[in-house]
Amino acid sequence: MPESLIDGQPCDRVPVDDRGLLYGDQLFETVAFHAGRAPLWDLHMKRLSRDAPRLLMPLPDPGLLARECRQLAAGQDRCVIRICLTRGSGGRAYEPPARIEPRRILIRRPWPADLEPRRREGICVHTSPVHLAAGSLLAGSKHGSRIEQVLAAEHARRSGVDEALLFDASGRLVEAIAGNLVLVIDDQPVTPELGGAGVAGVGLDWLRSVESGLFTRALGAEDLRQASAVMVINSVAGIRPVRALDGRRLTVDPRCRRWQQSWDRLFECAD
């Protein structure tokens, strides 16, 4: 059973001139599969369709992607498939070739081992010493130039926390390293407006579709101090409550458990 497909063929090596490798020149999606099905598939494809034109890349064929993902996920109880769409090979340094031939790299990963206890008991987070650059034209897109997230994740690892909250250079609260944020302020669930940084997550997109009471607005450090609860949401782990933020104990908002139940129903229906 191959663990990766490159342009449809079982293969685990990428040409050294791939632009994803050389310049972070790619889009990617990290898709949760349960029993061979991906309940959030349509939202992943919606984001890809929105991001490809922003990166001046051709749109992939979603049917082809779906078939190849099913091939990789076949026989797996749960797994994660990363879909990478690099801008292929060629061009003159940063300049892409006139005729772009994207490379599809699909990689299957095992289901993360410790998601369930963290979902139940909550995660420990810190405010990252890494801030994100502000005013990015590509804010919202899930492109492959993610050195800031790597650096934040390395700081989190060294600090022994599970996740981190990221501000941007202008002091706006943006997201977690691998997920979006939901805060409860004055009993109102609110998610930070991304502004010029961060990724518009598929998990959050799902939450918006089931929870009309979720507001979106610009948030800063003072909002974070006033939050009674904080949650991190992404398309693999779902919604996890934050139980400690920079050492401060937080409560678990009842909505978090309700959303987790909706999430579980969505994924159980896939079984």
Q: What is the DSSP letter of 7?
A: T
Out of 63, 75, 98, 248, the residue judged to bind its own copies by CB under 8 A: 98
Does 10 interact with its own copies (rule: CB under 8 A)? no
- Nearest CB to its own copies, comparing residues 78 and 255: 78
Judged by CB under 8 A, does residue 117 bind its own copies?
Answer: no
Candidates 182, 140, 144; CA nearest to 28 is 144
Q: Count of alpha carbons within 13 Å of 26, Cβ hemisphere only?
A: 23
Whole-number minimum distance, CB 103 to its own copies, in Å?
10
123-127 and 163-167 strand pairing: parallel
Of 61-69, 139-147, 199-207, 212-220, which segment contacts its own copies by CB under 8 A? 139-147
Q: Give every CB contact of residue 205 below 8 A, 6+ residues apart in sequence.
A: 43, 46, 47
Does 214 help bind its own copies (rule: CB under 8 A)?
A: no
What is the distance of C-alpha 82 from the center of its chain?
11
CA distance 96 to 23: 11
Asked if 177 touches its own copies (CB under 8 A), the answer is yes
- Sign for the pseudo-dihedral over CA of 230, 234, 236, 239: positive
17 vs 268, beta carbon nearer its own copies: 17
Shortest gap between Cβ of 54 and its own copies (angstroms)?
9
Query: Is position 142 an interface residue for its own copies (rule: CB under 8 A)?
Result: no
Strand partners, 9: 6
Site for its own copies contains 248 (CB under 8 A): no
- Which CB sits closer to its own copies, 92 or 248? 92
Please report the sign of the dihedral spanned by the C-alpha atoms of residue 38, residue 235, residue 216, residue 185: positive
17 binding its own copies? (CB under 8 A): yes
Q: How far is the CB of 65 from its own copies (least distance, A)?
A: 17
The footprint of its own copies on this chain (CB under 8 A) covers a number of residues equal to: 66
| 168 binds its own copies per the rule CB under 8 A | yes
Instruction: Candidates 31-39, 42-50, 162-170, 209-217: pick the segment binding its own copies (CB under 8 A).
Output: 162-170
Quickly count: other Cβ atoms within 10 Å of residue 138's Cβ. Answer: 14
Is the distance from CB of 203 to CB of 235 less than 8 angstroms? yes
What is the phi/psi pair of residue 84, to 5°?
-105, 130
Joined together, the tokens standing for residue 98 give 């006139």
Please select the residue that binds its own copies; options are 157, 208, 225, 265, rule is CB under 8 A: 157
37: contact with its own copies by CB under 8 A: no
Q: Which stretches of the chain bind its own copies, using CB under 8 A?
A: 4, 6, 11-25, 28, 30, 55-56, 82, 84, 86-87, 91-96, 98, 105, 107, 112, 130-138, 143-157, 168-170, 177-178, 196-197
